[in-house]
Amino acid sequence: MLALLRRLFKLPLLNLPAQSIWIMVGLVSWTVPLGNYIWLGPRYFLDWRILVLASGASYFVCFSLLAAQTAIIRWITNRYPRIEQTPKRMMLEFPVFIIMTIGTEISAFQLYSSLPFIDFNPSSATLYTIFWIGIGSNFISLCIYELYYTLTKWRENSLQTEAYKREALLNQLEVLKTQVNPHFLFNSLNALSSLISEEPAKAEQFVDELAKVYRYLLQTNEGKLTTLDQELAIIDSYYYLLKTRHQEGVHLTVNITPETRTLLLPPLTLQLLVENAVKHNRVQISQPLHISIDTNSEGWLRVKNNLQPKSLRMASNRVGLSNISTKYRLLEQPEPIVTNHDGHFTVMLPLLYT
């Protein structure tokens, strides 16, 4: 039966899901005989010719208009898909049901009037009765459809929430792995060892900046968001460490307007992006690595560096970028846009409002 109904509705607009077909079958199967009996009286069942012709015509009209109605309902549902938008959906759907009920009654009236044997001439009271039966059955179908849709959507949201929770736990584990980067710590301690003997005053400042970076790494990641101003402050300390190690081999340019400094983003975002740039590119005085942090005309944060890949490429598992993307996804915000074009690697990040 279901396969036959699907063949009847092969047009793209009427390619209906199974639940819509079963709702239509469940309603039309009893409303058509009831309506025909009210319209035609006992002769509907007593004359087989009237039974066949009236039933065939009624089912054709009802299924055609209900299929079109369901397609419109699906369009409304796609436009307002969230569970909390259910009242708005129903307010838009109910007028559709009224119009379709009137359309069904008019179409059936015209069709019955043209059929032989029927001698169709209903009274006004009969037309009103049929109209209210149509409204009632359509209201039932609306409630069934919305109940089914809400339960399905709730289940999808629950599964998605659980998936995001699992992803968040995995993300937190990866962040912990990258927070205290052994390679960076080893290089920093080597630089500090040289400074202690050669420039003790500078070594003291180096230790202060190193402590700021690791204090931020260990504390700030507990929160979901931090201000751009706080991220830039820790980047100053991080850049000082890089500059001490690489001298003129690395240059950082920051061009951020005061009004954007109060906007929000996930913590450790800038540190991870700057660290990735240094990790995957040559950093030499003869070939400096240039990193820039600014905003574009749409208010997105842009972190950009020139591409000069290392001869011996380090294996990249993209943990840093994956962590950042996951945080934005968990916040239900647009994910970062990563491009590799014209010799530059660019990451665009949306800045968030409170």
Lowest mean pLDDT, pick from 32-46, 81-95, 110-124 = 110-124
- Let me know: does 252 contact 291? Beta carbons within 8 Å: yes
Give the mean pLDDT of 47-53: 80
Q: How confident is the model at residue 288 (pLDDT cuts 50, 70, 90)?
A: very high
What would the pLDDT profile of 145-194 be if each residue is shown by its tens digit?
778 778 888 888 787 777 777 776 666 655 555 555 566 676 777 777 77
Buried b / exposed e along 169-180 (16+ C-beta atoms within 10 A): eebeebbeebee
User: In the chain, what are the helix, strand and coil shares in percent, each to the nearest 5?
Assistant: 70, 10, 20
Give the pLDDT score at 277: 92
pTM above 0.75, yes or no: no
Give the pLDDT score at 292: 96
What would the pLDDT profile of 92-112 be if each residue is shown by its tens digit?
878 877 787 777 777 777 777
Q: How many residues does the chain have?
A: 354
Residue 5 has pLDDT above 50, yes or no: no
Residue 131 has pLDDT above 80, yes or no: no
Q: How confident is the model at residue 11 (pLDDT cuts 50, 70, 90)?
A: very low
CA angle centred on 193, ends 187 and 196, rounded to 5°? 140
Distance, in Å, from the CA atom of 271 to the CA atom of 289, rounded to the nearest integer, reads: 16
Distance, in Å, from the CA atom of 90 to the CA atom of 73, rounded to the nearest integer, reads: 9
User: How many other CB atoms are found less than 10 A from the CB of residue 120?
Assistant: 17
- Let me know: does 113 contact 170? Beta carbons within 8 Å: no
What would the pLDDT profile of 297-328 be if each residue is shown by its tens digit?
888 999 999 999 987 655 554 567 887 888 88
Share of the chain above pLDDT 70, in %: 82
Distance, in Å, from the CA atom of 287 to the CA atom of 1, rounded to the nearest integer, reads: 73
Q: Which tokens is 344 given?
A: 């530059």
- Beta strands 289-295 and 250-255 are parallel
